[in-house]
Amino acid sequence: VSFGYRDVDASEKTGMVRSVFSGVAAKYDLMNDAMSGGLHRLWKDHFVRRVNPRKDEAILDMAGGTGDIAFRLHRAGAQVTVADINPEMLAVGQERAKKRGIDDLLWSEQNAEQLSFSDRSFDAYTIAFGIRNVTFIDKALKEAHRVLKFGGRFFCLEFSTTTWPGFSEMYDAYSHHLVPKLGKLLANDEDSYRYLVESIRRFPSMPEFERMIKDAGFVQTKVEPILGGLVAIHSGWKI
């Protein structure tokens, strides 16, 4: 399987991804702002509007990291479980929640490929900038389907490939040259940011990923490209 710019044994990838995020956890929020020029905040706002969380709904925010999506869902009164494979990312998230006076989120260490939650536990499943890090994406999608109730919805926010000519070359130049440099400058960690860039480049195209969501059992799947597909929201329903 691919790990950024090189191939590794599937059994190694999950551990390597875990260590990437252990390394970046403390600087994660700062780096997101720096690298997206603050745009990730708008994408996340938009994503959560699409999810349309309702009061008291049970929502699983998978690969929830430091809580950006969970805090937004929580604002609508949903009961949010933040799950992530990385305890350091979760710890930063819990610290942030405390500062915001939020004390009713559930934080849970989980591998998206194999969740400890029972079948049909959640009304919605969200995953933002998380799925491309998962070794076996098809397994994670099947698990998402399993833990959703009938009528439950799946929402994924992820980098994809922009189809805007010109913009895509600009983005390539930016991501290959500037992002690793920024990673070095701000977080003293060039390799992790190289991994992040490469994992974006290798992620399946929008139609391919939609196909995978269908294969996991979801229906009425939809793709909403943002900035020509630089980022995309994929969604589907379990019926």
Residues lying near ligand SAM in the complex (CB under 6 A) = 14, 17, 21, 63-65, 68-69, 84-86, 89, 110-113, 128-130, 133-134
Closest to ligand SAM by CB, 137 or 206:
137
Nearest to ligand SAM by Cβ — which residue? 65
Q: Contact, 76 vs 105, CB < 8 A?
A: no
Closest to ligand SAM by CB, 94 or 164:
94
Residue 135: CB minimum distance to ligand SAM, A: 7
33 is in an annotated binding site: no
Closest to ligand SAM by CB, 132 or 153:
132
133 is in an annotated binding site: no
The CA distance from 25 to 99, in Å, is 17
User: For residue 201, what are its two tokens?
Assistant: 């480049």
Dihedral sign from CA coordinates of 227, 37, 34, 89:
negative
Residue 40: CB minimum distance to ligand SAM, A: 7
Closest to ligand SAM by CB, 73 or 206:
73
Closest to ligand SAM by CB, 195 or 218:
195
191 is in an annotated binding site: no
How far, CA to CA in Å, does 177 sit from each of 88, 120, 184?
28, 44, 11
Residue 98: CB minimum distance to ligand SAM, A: 18
Q: Where does the chain have alpha helices with state H?
A: 10-24, 28-36, 39-51, 68-75, 87-99, 137-147, 167-173, 179-187, 190-201, 206-215
Residue 165: CB minimum distance to ligand SAM, A: 27
Alpha carbon dihedral 51, 88, 187, 174, in 10-degree steps, equals: -30
Residue 106: CB minimum distance to ligand SAM, A: 15
Task: Output b/e per residue, 16-42; b: 16+ Cβ within 10 A.
Answer: ebbebbebbbebbbebbebbeeeebee
Q: Point out the annotated binding site.
A: 66, 84, 111-112
Annotated binding site for S-adenosyl-L-methionine: 66, 84, 111-112
